[in-house]
Amino acid sequence: MARIRRAGRLGTLGVDVGSVLNLVGALLKYLGATFLFPTAVALGYGEPSWPYLAAGAITAATGLLLERGTHGKERVGVREGFLVVALTWLVVPAFGALPYLFADEPQLAGPVNAYFEAMSGFTATGATVLTDIEALDRSLAMWRQFTQWLGGMGIVVLAVAILPRLRVGGRQLFQAELAGPTEVERLSATIRETARRLWILYVGLTAVAIAVLAVIGWTGLDSAMNLYEASAHAFSTLSIGGFSTQEESLAAFGVATQWAVLVFIVVAGVNFLRLYLLLVQGKGRAVANDDEFRLYLAFLVAGGALLLGELLAGGLADGEEAIRQAAFQSVSIMTTTGFVTTDYTTWSPLAELTLLLLMFLGASAGSTGGSIKVVRHLLMFRIIRRELEQTVHREAVVPVRLNRTVVEDRALRGVVTFIVLYIGLFAFGALGLVIDAKQAALDLTSFEALGAAAACLGNVGPAFGFAGPFGSYADFSDSSTGLLTVLMWLGRVEIIPVAVLLTRTYWRA
């Protein structure tokens, strides 16, 4: 009896789980190849390379088995798209954590910590449980940086660009991952070609960043910079990640490096679709007239100015240093990068609060940054303005526009839903941390809890207190670390793909 009923229920399942697993399997199969990069680095530096080879083999084999064991389909449906995205971002870091475990690195011993570190890598967050980064093998440190670069532009977008079978069905995936409030614009007739161009641009910009940083090293402008550091930091800059090979992050490097990295962060925070139009097709107007781009710049300038004022008023720094420190910290935190050039927790409560609030802005939609993102703030502002207008003029019909085109009500509701969910997750996340800290007898202030929740959900990285810029998340208990890992995951997939999985209608036929 039970068996029949179960079969009946499976029959009415509305989601083709088999094809989802099949696609995730294919993805893992290819992910196995990326482990060759740290292998090469390990060989170059004479470090053991077997952890990467083993991790790569396991990843590829699992992927192959998963792919063989299920049936794939060419077309990915709307529903399946959500599950693919949610699952990919959950599974990929799990395999990405294998080298941490295999390398026998004492700081990343437990599976919880290793998974946290890998999740922080792939989601381009930049939060770390390491307390002594410089103690890592060179190859392991590079793998850490490399995971950020892989995750920055999006694994699923990469899959759409290269997986042969997603030639036609990649649209849903692309839309689900490169989530913004409005329909993704296309750079060419096919989504596949669009995804490919985005990745080419991403690779190109990374190459430029490596070159610039390496030149700074070679010309002697910054003695701490070399090709290894240039690559490592270019990876975590263009991906708006924030991992560093140095315990002191960018403070370990010279002024020239800091300014160069700052410029690349600002570039990486622009919508890549717009960036492509500007850099490759030379359409400057498409960017200059973009509502989101203008507000993005305005936010950057305002955030920097605010912090600069606080620094100068508090007598904490002056001259070029004040400008650089204010600009770097505000840009890095607002775009959700997470690099630092100083320990901002020593500044002032006002500066700390400013930075906490900046964590909620984020970069542009379609960039490699996280958090709420500028365009949602823009639309939210216009929604509120319309609401107020209609309070006075009850019958008025007021369309909300973005770049002169009308944004559909559905998309607007999506923006409100996202922001409410985001704030809700932030609040409950912080609450969970505080409760758990009490259980674990950890000295955690409520501000630090709020900071950690915001920094993980927004894929920023450093928070406040012991989890501050030069600190580590290592002090959190395993359950707190797990909670923060989930927040990073939710933040990267932009909540909705996971939230729909929790509804009953999603699974029903």
Partner 1 sequence: MDIIVVGAGQVGMTIVEALHDEHDVTVVDLDAARLQALSYRYDVRTVAGNGATRRVLQEAGVGEADLMIACTSRDEINLVAAMLAKKLSGGQTIVRTSNPEYIEAWQERQIDVDFMVSSELETAHAVSRTIGVPAAKQTDVFAEGQVQILEFDVPAEDGRESVTGVPLTEAAERAARRSPGGRFAEVVGRPLREARIPPESKVASIIRGERAIVPRGDQAIMPGDRVVVIGSPTAAKEWSRIMARGERPVDDIVVFGAGQTGLAIARVLLTEGIRVRVVEPNPERAREVAEDLSEARVYCATGIDTDFLERERIGQARAAVFAMREDAKNLYAATLARVHGIGFTIAIVHEPVSVEVFERAGIDVAVNPRSVTAEEIVRFAHDPRIRQLAMLEGDRFEILDITVREESKLVRTPFKDLPITGSLIGAIVRDGTAIFPHGDDVLVPGDRAIIFTESRRVPEVEKAL
User: 350 exposed, middle or buried (CB, 10 Å; 0-12, 13-18, 19+)?
Assistant: middle
Question: Among residues 223 and 391, whose Cβ is nearest to partner 1?
Answer: 391
CB of residue 376 to partner 1, shortest distance in Å: 21
Query: Are the beta carbons of 118 and 147 closer than 8 angstroms?
Result: yes
The single-letter DSSP state of residue 465 is G
Query: Are the beta carbons of 444 and 412 closer than 8 angstroms?
Result: no
Binding string, residues 335-374; x marks residues near partner 1 by CB under 8 A = ----------------------------------------
Instruction: Give the bridge partners for 508, in sequence order.
Output: 13
Does residue number 394 form part of the binding site for partner 1 (CB under 8 A)? yes
Residue 419: which residues within 8 A CB-CB, separation 6 or more?
Answer: 372, 376, 380
CB of residue 335 to partner 1, shortest distance in Å: 32
Window contacting partner 1 (CB under 8 A); options: 38-46, 148-156, 332-340, 387-395: 387-395
What distance in Å separates the CA atoms of residue 320 and residue 259, rounded to the nearest whole number? 11
What distance in Å separates the CA atoms of residue 204 and residue 195, rounded to the nearest whole number? 14
Q: 298-307: buried (b, 16+ CB within 10 Å) or exposed (e) per residue?
A: ebbeebbebb
Question: Among residues 395 and 443, whose Cβ is nearest to partner 1?
Answer: 395
Question: Among residues 71 and 401, whose Cβ is nearest to partner 1?
Answer: 401
Instruction: Name residue, tokens 């007021």.
Output: 398
Question: Among residues 43 and 406, whose Cβ is nearest to partner 1?
Answer: 406
Question: Among residues 390 and 445, whose Cβ is nearest to partner 1?
Answer: 390
Instruction: Name residue, tokens 């932009």.
Output: 494
Number of amino acids touching partner 1 (CB under 8 A): 10
Binding string, residues 395-434; x marks residues near partner 1 by CB under 8 A = xxxxx-x--x-x----------------------------
Question: Among residues 205 and 378, whose Cβ is nearest to partner 1?
Answer: 378
CB of residue 165 to partner 1, shortest distance in Å: 39
Query: Are the beta carbons of 268 and 237 closer than 8 angstroms?
Result: yes
Question: Among residues 61 and 388, whose Cβ is nearest to partner 1?
Answer: 388
Annotate 253-319 with three-state secondary structure. CCHHHHHHHHHHHHHHCCCHHHHHHHHCCCCHHHHHCCHHHHHHHHHHHHHHHHHHHHHHHCCCCCH
Does residue number 283 form part of the binding site for partner 1 (CB under 8 A)? no
Binding string, residues 160-199; x marks residues near partner 1 by CB under 8 A = ----------------------------------------
CB of residue 399 to partner 1, shortest distance in Å: 5
| Residues near partner 1 (CB under 8 A) | 393-399, 401, 404, 406
